[in-house]
Amino acid sequence: MTSRYLKWKKSVPVRWVASVRITVACLVWLFVLTFWGTVAQVSDGLYQAQEKFFHSWYFLQWGFLPLPGAQLTLWILFVNLSANAVFRFVYRWANVGILIIHLGLLSYFVGAFVTLHGVEESNLTLREGETSNVAQAYHDWELAVWSPSEADALEVTAFDVAGLKSGEVVTLTDPPLEFGVRLYFANAQAYTRGKAPQPDLLNVSGINDLSRLALDSAPERNFPGGIFTVRLPDGSRRDILLYGQESQPTPLAAGGKGYLFQIRRKRYQLPITVTLKKFEMEKHPGTEIARSYRSYVQIERQGIKRDAEIYMNHPYRFKDYTFYQASYAVDQRGEFRSTLAVVRNEGRLLPYVSSLVTFAGLAVHFLVMAFRRRWR
C-alpha cells in the first residue's frame, strides 16, 4: 500500500463517507420511502407516488420540509458502499464471501440505474368491454400522420417532436412528406382570437396563434404546439398548426389523397391485447374515498387467451412488460375507466441476478466460517 492510500484511508472525510452509520441510515430511510410510497399510491395514484418518492432527488413534505428522495438516497448508499470496498475492506481469502456480497449490493444499484434511465413508461386506459394493444406515454409526444380509412387497423407514421427547432426539416418516406418547422414550443398556449385569421394556416380547432409557456415541473402538464410547412407528394406546400390538447386531427387533402395530422402523446405497440372485462372499486365506510380497486382483464397473445386480476401490489407481468393498477376515473355516464401503468424494463432480470450474487456471497461466507472453525 502506498503512503498516499494510507493517508486517504485515515482521513476524516473518507472515514465519514465510508461510515457504517450512513449505510444503516440509508437502508432504514429506503424502507420508510418504500412503505410511504406504497401507501401514497391509494390517494395520489401510482405515477405521482413514483415521481415524488422514488424518482426525485428530494421532495417537500407539508410544503416546507425537504426530505431526500430514493434517487438521492441510492446515490449516497452507492458512494458509501464503494468507499467501504476501497478503504475499509480487508482483501484476503477469508473475506471472499463478504466481497461477493458487496458486489451483489453494488449490482443492485446498476439495476436501479438501468431501470431509471432505460425504462419505457406508458399507460393504458380502458372502459369495461374495451380492448386495446396500444399504450400511450405520460409526457413524451409525437407528430403522427395517417390517411383516412374505414378499416379497423390504420397505418400511422410518427416521429418524436422533442427537441424540434425552428428551421429544422423532417423528411418521411412513407408517406412521402416533408415537414419544415416554422416554430415549435415544448409547452404552448393556444389562441383562437385576438389575432387576425391566417387563411393559409390550417387547423381543425380554429386556432390561429401560439405562445411559448415556461416548462412545468410536472411533465404531464406540458402541451406542445407548433406551425409546420408540409411539402406534399405533388410538390405543393401547406402550413398547418398543431397543438397537443386537440382531440381531433387536422385534415389536409392534396392530389386526390387525404392526410390527417396530430401532435399526440407517444404511442407504444404492445405485444399483447388487453380487454377490461370488469372493474371493481371498494370505498372506505361512510366516505367517497377509494379503499381499493382492481381490474379484471383478459390477455390475448397469438390466439391464446387468459384471465388476470390487476390491483395494488399485484401487477401482471409479460416478458419485459409489467402492468400495474394506476388509477381510475368515472365519466359523465357513471362508467368506470381503469388506467393501467405499463412499464417496459429490459433490465428487469438484473435485480434477480443481484439477489443470486448476494445469496452466493452469504453462502460462501458462512461456508468459509464453518471450515475455519473446523480447521481450528
For residue 292, the enclosing domain spans 120-132+270-344
pLDDT reported for residue 54: 84
Together in a domain, 233 and 280:
no
pLDDT reported for residue 51: 78
| Other CB atoms within 10 Å distance of the CB of residue 51 | 19
Together in a domain, 144 and 160:
yes
Together in a domain, 249 and 142:
yes
Q: Which helix (H) or strand (E) holds 174?
A: none
pLDDT tens digits, one per residue of 112-141 = 778 777 788 899 999 999 999 999 998 889
Binning pLDDT at 50, 70 and 90, where does residue 52 land? confident
Three-state SS at 369:
helix
Give the single-character DSSP code of 200: T
Q: How far apart are the first and last CA of the chain?
A: 30
pLDDT reported for residue 198: 66
Together in a domain, 264 and 152:
yes
Together in a domain, 334 and 211:
no
pLDDT reported for residue 5: 61
The total of structural domains in the chain comes to 3
Together in a domain, 221 and 297:
no
Together in a domain, 302 and 316:
yes
β-strands 237-243, 201-202 pairing: parallel
* Sheet order of strands, 237-243 included: 169-171, 178-185, 225-231, 237-243, 201-202
Dihedral angle computed from the Cα positions of residues 219, 220, 221 and 226, in that order, rounded to the nearest 10 degrees: 80
Together in a domain, 169 and 239:
yes
Together in a domain, 353 and 338:
no
| 235-244 average pLDDT score | 91
Residue 273 has pLDDT above 90, yes or no: yes
Query: Which of 48, 200, 60 lies closest to 139 in space, CA to CA?
Result: 48
Query: Which residue among 268, 294, 324 closes a domain?
Result: 268
pLDDT reported for residue 266: 93
Q: Is the dihedral of CA 13, 18, 24, 25 positive or negative?
A: positive
How much is the pTM?
Answer: 0.68
Query: Which residue among 268, 294, 316 closes a domain?
Result: 268
Together in a domain, 150 and 236:
yes
Give the single-character DSSP code of 315: -
Q: Is the dihedral of CA 218, 223, 228, 230 positive or negative?
A: positive
Together in a domain, 43 and 12:
yes
pLDDT reported for residue 216: 78
Binning pLDDT at 50, 70 and 90, where does residue 151 land? low
pLDDT reported for residue 322: 94
Residue 203's alpha-carbon distances to 61, 184, 235, 239, 260, in angstroms, are: 43, 15, 21, 9, 11
Together in a domain, 284 and 296:
yes
User: Counting beta carbons within 10 angstroms of the beta carbon of residue 151, is it exposed (0 to 12), middle (13 to 18) or buried (19 or more)?
Assistant: exposed
pLDDT reported for residue 260: 92
Please check whether residue 188 is in contact with residue 245, taking contact to mean a CB–CB distance below 8 angstroms.
no
